[in-house]
């Protein structure tokens, strides 16, 4: 079924409006909650509950910015809330974040001020920094040949190129491990890693659109455990030790898991 070009864009627009709590097509630079909603959905921002603004931030998030209240105590003094793991919503958030260059600058400036004020956790080893670095690097990589002011999707190629439902959202694209790591670390990365490593990864791809938190032990075993979770056509690899059970987070539609002591990268391989 062929649908009008505007249909795909309108879905992204509605998702963005629901997330930001605004009908405006641009960032409201005076509204810090809008920027925080965009970042929280994608980067799993951990709230420091001792901060005086934490409760109001969470309440506004649930009321106006698609944050979900999963449970609450009988007296409503405590509640567990978070953003849903939904790639479409993450793509909408990414589209607004990169709609123009000033949006990203504004959002990160807001986040820096909140982190400096003690409202968000940075992690024992600065894990928030790695979450920002990896995901923003992928955002920029998939947009390097795409006009950021245009559509948030890429049309299908081939016999169905007139079917917009066959289009691929920019931020749900899988990307070559070789090309992405060269983009992230520089062209010299693979020359230092060696030809053997590059050959092993030549058909490997990763795909991720947002981070999600994972609480508690991944495995109850006493030794180091490795496991994989199939998540929206991509595998999430994680690892931890029995003596260290940190709050963890994983990229969803994803290839990377993060823990306090280690991180692992997986790949979605293809022979094409």
Model confidence pLDDT, tens digit, residues 63-95: 999 999 999 888 887 888 999 888 889 999 999
Q: Give the pLDDT score at 165.
A: 59
3-state secondary structure of 82: strand
Q: Give the pLDDT score at 255.
A: 36
139 Cβ contact partners less than 8 Å away, ≥ 6 residues apart: 94, 97, 98, 171
3-state secondary structure of 23: coil
Question: How far from the centroid of its chain's Cα atoms is residue 151's Cα?
Answer: 19
pTM tops 0.85, yes or no: no
Which percentage of the chain shows pLDDT scores above 70?
68
Range of lowest pLDDT (107-111, 136-140, 209-213): 209-213
187 pLDDT band (50/70/90 cuts)? Answer: confident
Whether 227 has a pLDDT exceeding 60, the answer reads: no
Mean residue pLDDT across the chain: 76
196 Cβ contact partners less than 8 Å away, ≥ 6 residues apart: none
């Amino acid at each position: 079924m062929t649908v009008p070009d505007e249909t795909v864009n309108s879905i992204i627009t509605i998702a963005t409006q629901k997330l930001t709590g605004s009908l405006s097509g641009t960032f409201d630079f005076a509204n810090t909650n809008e920027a925080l909603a965009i970042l929280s959905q994608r980067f799993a921002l951990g709230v420091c509950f001792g901060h005086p603004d934490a409760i109001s931030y969470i309440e506004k998030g649930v009321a106006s910015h698609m944050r979900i209240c999963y449970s609450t105590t009988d007296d409503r003094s405590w509640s567990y809330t978070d953003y849903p793991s939904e790639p479409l919503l993450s793509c909408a958030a990414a589209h607004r974040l990169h709609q123009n260059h000033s949006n990203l600058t504004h959002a990160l400036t807001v986040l820096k001020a909140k982190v400096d004020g003690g409202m968000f956790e940075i992690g024992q080893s600065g894990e928030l920094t790695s979450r920002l670095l990896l995901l923003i690097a992928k955002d920029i990589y998939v947009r390097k040949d795409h006009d950021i002011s245009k559509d948030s999707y890429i049309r299908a190629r081939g016999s169905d190129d007139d079917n917009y439902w066959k289009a691929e959202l920019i931020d749900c694209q899988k990307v070559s491990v070789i090309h992405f790591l060269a983009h992230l670390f520089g062209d010299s990365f693979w020359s230092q890693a060696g030809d053997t490593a590059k050959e092993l990864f030549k058909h490997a791809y990763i795909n991720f659109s947002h981070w999600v938190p994972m609480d508690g032990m991944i495995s109850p075993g006493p030794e180091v455990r490795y496991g994989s979770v199939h998540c929206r056509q991509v595998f999430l690899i994680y690892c931890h030790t029995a003596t260290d059970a940190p709050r963890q987070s994983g990229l969803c539609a994803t290839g990377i898991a993060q823990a306090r002591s280690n991180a692992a990268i997986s790949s979605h391989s293809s022979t094409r």
